[in-house]
Structure 1
Amino acid sequence: MKIASSGEELIKICEEEQISLSEYAIRKEMEAKEVSREDLFAQMKYTLDAMREGATLGREKKVYSLSGLIGGDAYRLQQYSKSGKSLMGAGIVTAMAMAMSSSEVNGSMGKIVACPTAGSCGILPAVILTTGELLNKTDDELITGLFAASAIGMIIGMNATFSGAEGGCQAECGSAAAMAAGAVVELMGGTPKMSLDAAAIIFKNVLGLVCDPVAGLVEIPCAKRNVSGAINALCTADMVMAGVDSKIPFDDALSAMYKVGTSLPAELRETALGGVAVTETGLALKEKVFGKASE
């Protein structure tokens, strides 16, 4: 099977073969790993189950990170979703709670799926699982969504980076949201081009987002950026399904993300030497976690 090295090539292959993004990823993995479709789905089902576990635990009880910097917010959001007071409705607030739960579980050293990174682990699960609940999708359908996300992720990995240390948070939470938005578009019946348009819009929306973890831990502001990324992905999927396209194609948007990321000063690329990490409160929280010796 042809291997795509760009979004444009990916769309062309899918159009020529008359296949979806998920089918492209499935065929590629079957060929590369020499496994059957059934075995591949079983492996991805294990991933989906792990995602669901991480997105649920913090909503059922208050989970705190080992540092104590974050915790309990997923539970608070889940309770709020039942109040009837939300502007956006219970479904969207639940998505927020799912994203926060995975981040809190990560901080507590629980099991998560780094998709594509641990710091952005809440976005794809929240988006996929929320889509499943709102659109009554089966687990097999959600698994195809994860394969669609991986097709986009492969192109990102080839041409840019997922690393906050290299490209800022736009490369971590931005990539996760781009993958998630594209996956949802496919689950909603969109074409490969529409999925990549959604991913392009995501990158444009977060261009320049810095990576500035307080105390060097992917907790503050990372957990809340997972929430923001999940909602960004869901909103963008609806935008594209309404017929809105991206005037800047995926490959150009991805190139811009990478160039902007590598242009960021080191202080804004996961070193905890800039942004909110070096505010008065950020430094006080660092001292609380590590003590004055950390300076």
Structure 2
Amino acid sequence: MYKSLAEIIDCVTKKNIPFWKCVQKEDCIELGISEEEAFSRMQGMYEAMRSADEGYEDTLYSQSGLVGTDGKKVHDARIKGQLLCGDFIGKVMERAIKMGESNACMKRIVAAPTAGSCGVIPAVFLTIQEEKGYTDEQMTEALYVAAGIGGVIANRAFLAGAAGGCQAEIGSASSMAAGAVAYLMGGDAKVIANAAALAMKNLLGLACDPVAGLVEVPCVKRNVMGAVNAMTSADLALAGVMSRIPPDEVFDAMRAIGRAMPENIRETGLGGLAGTPTGVELREKLTGM
């Protein structure tokens, strides 16, 4: 597994192959499988994301009752033309919240990279494919790009909220999605890396503070923020806006910030929003604690 985006960029330059292919070759070595089998597995992952999106139930609530039906509300507002962000970003928002709700309602999702951040990549990928007409093969290539970025983040920092706060979950997912969008839109390896860096920079320091310890509030709605942030970050990089701090150093900063975070805002369900009067009241009601 690559330890830096600089290594992937070096692979792209020296071997004259796409960013996704560098990631795939490393994956094949690690898993001991052929490129064909690896690609088929990754495409299956994308198909599972699509299936999860299509399987959203707009009347379903989570067991706690804290999450459910908001995806339908965003859908209805989008159809009526009420969203200031417009139809395209509206679809991204809608899909992100739907996937987060499906996770909370115990439906099948793809952890990308975690269950708590499962809505970011599918929302971005499914919507851009729908809008731009990319093939499933192109989307699978983009998923490799996302996976390569996620692998570097995991190597240099962490992906779990318990280790580094929500910046490690939503931040990583947003970074992965941003780089993948940059790839789909024709960005080179440098643009891909900078899109990932810009997305992560925007979410540095984000606390993980689930109310009652459940991956519901505010987790579901943060997927919307992560997805939209990915789109804007990709646009910036594609326009030529680069991160002044090198991408790998941005990930290192995320690690340092995560280590400095108090434990009560690292998925313990004690601080942040979970520690507000209403958050405490909900925890006592739902858990008896």
TM-score by length of 1: 0.94
Note if 1:33 corresponds to 2:31: yes
2:72 to 66, 70, 75: 75
For the residue of structure 1 that corresponds to 2:67, the secondary structure is coil
Note if 1:216 corresponds to 2:216: no
Task: Report how far residue 287 of structure 1 moved.
Answer: 2.5
Equivalent position amino acid for 1:103 in 2: G
Structure 2 matches for 1:242-253, cutoff 5 A?
Answer: 242-253=239-250
Q: Is the 8 A contact 1:272 1:278 kept in 2?
A: yes
Note if 1:116 corresponds to 2:126: no
Q: Is the 8 A contact 1:156 1:162 kept in 2?
A: yes
1:266 to 242, 257, 263: 263
Q: Is the 8 A contact 2:8 2:23 kept in 1?
A: no
More off after superposition, 30-39 vs 7-16: 30-39
Task: Report how far residue 73 of structure 1 moved.
Answer: 0.7
For the residue of structure 1 that corresponds to 2:216, the secondary structure is coil
Equivalent position amino acid for 1:202 in 2: A
Structure 2 matches for 1:149-168, cutoff 5 A?
Answer: 149-168=146-165
Deviations 1:87-128 (A, max 9, x none): 111121111111111111111111011111111111011111
Aligned equivalents of 1:162 and 1:30: distance in 2? 22
More off after superposition, 31-40 vs 150-159: 31-40
2:142 is matched with which residue?
145
1:226 to 223, 226, 244: 223
Aligned equivalents of 1:10 and 1:36: distance in 2? 20
Aligned pair count reads 289
1:55 is matched with which residue?
53
Q: Is the 8 A contact 2:212 2:282 kept in 1?
A: yes
Note if 1:93 corresponds to 2:90: yes
Aligned equivalents of 1:231 and 1:56: distance in 2? 20
1:7 is matched with which residue?
5
Aligned equivalents of 1:54 and 1:289: distance in 2? 27
Q: Is the 8 A contact 2:45 2:110 kept in 1?
A: yes
TM-score by length of 2: 0.96
Q: Is the 8 A contact 1:62 1:74 kept in 2?
A: no
Q: Is the 8 A contact 1:70 1:104 kept in 2?
A: yes
Aligned equivalents of 1:232 and 1:270: distance in 2? 22
Residue segments in structure 2 that go unaligned for 5+ positions in a row: none
Residue segments in structure 1 that go unaligned for 5+ positions in a row: none
**Structure 1 outlier segments of 4+, above 6 Å:** none
2:17 to 19, 27, 42: 19
Equivalent position amino acid for 1:13 in 2: C
Equivalent position amino acid for 1:16 in 2: K
Deviations 1:257-286 (A, max 9, x none): 110011000011111110000111111222
